[in-house]
Amino acid sequence: MGRKYKNPPLVEALCEFQFIPQEPYDLTIPGLFYEKIKNEFPEKEEQAGVDFQLQMTDRGIEQKIVPVPPKVRFFKPGGTPLVQLAPDLLAVNCLQPYPSWESFKPVILENLEVYREVAKPKGFRRIGLRYINVLELNKVNVELTDYFCYYPSIPEVLPQQVDTFLSRVEIPYEDERLILTLGTIAPKRPNLLQITLDIDYVMVTPEKIAFDDISAWLDKAHERVEYAFESCITDKARELFQEVNNAVNSDK
């Protein structure tokens, strides 16, 4: 059982399924999917069907603008939770306020089931359960070690003050990986520090997890994400997040 916070830093939880590619991509899948979920997720939005890609040309590396199949989002009024579809990809996202794992997990499983009915995927290529936390501090200077147990270490002979950073590690967990990313993001206003702690637990072995085993995998992934979160923050951070000291519901 994890800890509960009155002011949690969690800005988004998401589960991303990448499937074994099916060629060619069936462009009717988003429409068929929407037909089945539109009562729960009536709003829809299409993302631009262009992408920037780096390509090697005779003149060196060039930025190319290439057409890609659009990503489609279906969401509830209010914008969360939401479901995203792209070729061989399904993502279920939950923005603030995050209800609880017990509420979020069924949304993931229900939409995966609908996707299976509609797209008939061969199997999982990759699964990721990801929790994105953002620590906002109205300060000009922050000692990272005050808030995080995971941080980049700079040799003492170098200046210790930085204004941006990015740290990413991939920790093997059996055949799977825990990806921890800590870094700054562009501030919404001057003199604001925004630090993301992005925790992603992923399965990257194609078809290792059967569809019927996904529920248990999700519980395991959630447990590891939660453990990683608590391991990465300090008591001072917990004070900031205002830990609630009751044992009733202890989801992050």
Partner 1 sequence: MQLTATNNESHPYPAPALGEIGFSVTKEKAIEVPLAALQEIRYPEVSVYLSPYKLVDELERVYIYENPQEIKTFLLSNKDLILVLKEAPDYIYRVFGRVPIYLELHSDPEEDWDELFIIIKSSLPADEAINREKELFDIWFSRIVHRVGNRLNYTEEPL
Contact positions vs partner 1 (CB under 8 A): 11-12, 14, 16, 47-48, 50, 52, 54, 56, 61, 63, 65, 71, 73, 82, 84, 86, 89, 91, 93, 95, 126, 130, 132, 134, 139-145, 151-154, 160-166, 170, 172, 181-193, 195-196, 198, 204
**111, 83 contact by CB (below 8 A):** yes
In the complex with partner 1, the residue whose CB is nearer, 11 or 32, is 11
In the complex with partner 1, the residue whose CB is nearer, 134 or 244, is 134
DSSP helix/strand/coil, 176 = strand
Identity of the residue numbered 3: R
Shortest Å distance, C-beta 191 to partner 1: 5
Residue 199's CB is within 10 A of a number of other CB atoms, namely: 26
Shortest Å distance, C-beta 1 to partner 1: 26
In the complex with partner 1, the residue whose CB is nearer, 39 or 141, is 141
DSSP tag of 71 = P
Shortest Å distance, C-beta 78 to partner 1: 13
In the complex with partner 1, the residue whose CB is nearer, 31 or 152, is 152
Cross-strand pairs, 17: 90, 127
Q: In whole angstroms, how large is the CA radius of gyration of the chain?
A: 20
Shortest Å distance, C-beta 124 to partner 1: 15
**99, 118 contact by CB (below 8 A):** no
In the complex with partner 1, the residue whose CB is nearer, 164 or 246, is 164
Q: Nearest 10 degrees: CA dihedral of 115, 116, 118, 120? A: 130
Shortest Å distance, C-beta 219 to partner 1: 21
Distance CA 212, CA 154 (A): 46
